[in-house]
Structure 1
């Protein structure tokens, strides 16, 4: 059996390891931290003695690679999957809007849902339909030089439509402002969600913490398929000789492998690849966006739905877990320097604006999690030069949501990147 070292125990590394283990490779996965998951990890909140995720992840039915991965590791029961798309939006003073596609068959259910979405007028809804019909036949490569904002203006999408529909979709999918992001990648996402089938449109949420949904089942799959998973094990160097990866060095000991996959962030990759080979990696300079997640334990939970999207707000999504709620703010760079107590106070005030029945005194516990370098900004220039899984160094491959997956930095992008790296290796043998 061919031996593969996978460096990094996030979703990209776990994905690569699972697919190679399923194809009879001997896989050794190395993770520097004591637990898997990378940024998409879970931890014990001691005050309530429950495991919670660092951040909430909303997935969609068009996440083909994610669903295939979860099926392979036997964890489908950990996912909540809508039968039909249903979204709850809210404006200040508890003004609620519902996008409900639960009636009729696709695509007529989406048309009826749009007709019933009261946040826009009739002409604005017709403009959305025209845009989606145009996308059916429009090569998205022609949008490579547009930002999302520029494209929406070009397609006569009003300011109101941008605020109550496209912006909340875009900032959730891309974690960056529509002024910065590539229109091509956003248009590709819209086609995947709305222009394939009904299944692609639905929302998927983890019913358990991310450890139980992804990480532990993946770890068990690797071990059951003759692999090894090593936590708290830091790779010092990738051993490269004559432009070929030969193995890894751990605590001055060399371990030989036929192939090496790096599934760590690109800045960490530079630390383990000898400097003479940095230029062969062809990695551009990325800009990053932050994500802020705030978990609130309430003595009275006034939220009835599983999740809400907040319109015209810098607080974007609320997820209801029953015992606590999670608030997610994307493109959160301006929040990173604010102290945690002030963050909880500010978010509580915003919740009160949108849900007047919310009591500022109802918070029993809070947990603020700042991810300063959460995702790369999917800018026009960067998308053209993202590195592929295969490098110019023989037998060294890359995985990570920042590689050239054609997707933004999401769970789907990470898992797809791992499979792409595994597929490149399968082509070599």
Structure 2
């Protein structure tokens, strides 16, 4: 029997939940407070330029993200540049060059290790030892610890930690080695380095993050008769109060819709109060906590969400003359904040989208210190770093720059962090978001999996929707 469900939040988790519910035959209404879809992975427009609020790398291991994109009608070949696993530093830099060939796993990593430039024999032996030991352990720890402690246990060399493990940890967990969860890091490595060869591929979006999935999912929903409201902020959630006499207060009335959603915005013509059989709360933790706080049974969950610590991600966009290119779509960079070297990865956007010729995106994860600088100061420092590392003096002077910082880009992924379940203490109300309980850190794949799980909790079998 088809039911009516509301999804609060138009990000990757929210649209994954909405798509799954709709495909199960239910009716879905999505409320998104912003005018742009995508949540913390979205398009922004600055000075007439279409950018992302942060540069992303997906992995071939993100099977559910890729599956949902296909279901929404995204042409993956056109939307994504697929590269083999690599950790490449600029030529002449004090880094390394590690590129996996397209061979079956785990042979691809072994050959990449043998061919890697910039690593000494001890470094290569340490990496092989890490991979072998982690496989033997089933990529599991009896007790979680920091990634720094894990690397010490596995006798990783300082150079390998600096050139391989630290940038991978920052890119995946957005948390410094000293505070990052080793178990979550191992889960990411298990499903990429430790899985089939294609799972380790690095996938670079050619289109903006809103178009990559949320807008395609929105279009699919609307074509199939569902509703998506932009600029519609949900102000309150209430259990149905029409209980028959004698029924416990706060529980839904028999045969009635379980939840009332109060929302307002121009898209709704002011405000509306609509009834639904269930609600997926797919907004950021702080926003979810504010909606949960008035609900007595959900107060402990609200406090748990309010207790999260966060890490920032900064992306510095630098526009150079047309034709300015890197030898490869992206490089890792050696950062050293004490020397005003902030960049950790640089992406040549022109190799992903011809309309962005000459545009470079430099990413700084766990960016609290960098984000405290004035934007012009940070952009100038990043330009000088690129000019030195790439031996291209002209990069020190960009024609245009913009620094975008997502201050609460991800939760701080610390050891043994207590993350909430998708299910809540209230029947018919579930959570979806990259912060919920799961193997992965705050990534697009974790957001998508969380949305799918939220949909499974709400959904009963009904007729399948046809695209």
TM-score strictly above 0.5: yes
Contact 1:15 / 1:419 at 8 angstroms: preserved in 2? yes
Q: Deviations over 1:211-266 (max 9, x none)?
A: 22112211011112221100011111011252555121124642100010000112
Q: What CA distance in whole angstroms lies between the structure 2 residues aligned with 1:361 and 1:123?
A: 36
Partner of 2:318: 296
Contact 1:94 / 1:356 at 8 angstroms: preserved in 2? no
Contact 1:84 / 1:201 at 8 angstroms: preserved in 2? yes
Find 2:283's aligned residue among 257, 260, 264. 264
Contact 1:124 / 1:158 at 8 angstroms: preserved in 2? yes
Q: What CA distance in whole angstroms lies between the structure 1 residues aligned with 2:446 and 2:233?
A: 25
- Say whether 1:305 aligns with 2:328: yes
Q: Which moved more, 1:403-412 or 1:77-86?
A: 77-86
Partner of 2:84: 84
Q: What CA distance in whole angstroms lies between the structure 1 residues aligned with 2:53 and 2:152?
A: 35
Offset at residue 275 of structure 1 (A)? 4.7
Contact 2:96 / 2:163 at 8 angstroms: preserved in 1? no
Partner of 2:4: 3
Q: Deviations over 1:340-375 (max 9, x none)?
A: 111111111211221121325541111110111110
Matches within 5 A, 1:334-413: 334-360=369-395, 362-382=397-417, 385-413=418-446
Partner of 1:168: 167
Q: What CA distance in whole angstroms lies between the structure 2 residues aligned with 1:86 and 1:164?
A: 12
Q: What CA distance in whole angstroms lies between the structure 2 residues aligned with 1:24 and 1:133?
A: 46
Q: Highest Rg: 1 or 2? A: 2
Offset at residue 335 of structure 1 (A)? 1.5
5+ long unaligned stretches in structure 1: none
Offset at residue 277 of structure 1 (A)? 3.5
SS at structure 2 position matched to 1:164: helix
Superposition RMSD on alpha carbons, in Å? 2.0
Q: Which moved more, 1:370-379 or 1:269-278?
A: 269-278
Partner of 2:347: 319
- Say whether 1:37 aligns with 2:38: yes
Contact 1:289 / 1:377 at 8 angstroms: preserved in 2? yes
SS at structure 1 position matched to 2:61: coil
Partner of 2:465: none
Q: What CA distance in whole angstroms lies between the structure 1 residues aligned with 2:34 and 2:325?
A: 37
Partner of 2:22: 21
Contact 2:81 / 2:206 at 8 angstroms: preserved in 1? no
Q: What CA distance in whole angstroms lies between the structure 2 residues aligned with 1:159 and 1:234?
A: 49
Q: What CA distance in whole angstroms lies between the structure 2 residues aligned with 1:243 and 1:196?
A: 46
In structure 2, the CA distance between the partners of 1:367 and 1:40, relative to structure 1 (3 Å rule), is same
5+ long unaligned stretches in structure 2: 241-249, 253-257, 265-270, 337-341, 351-356, 463-467
**Number of aligned pairs?**
424
Partner of 2:309: 287
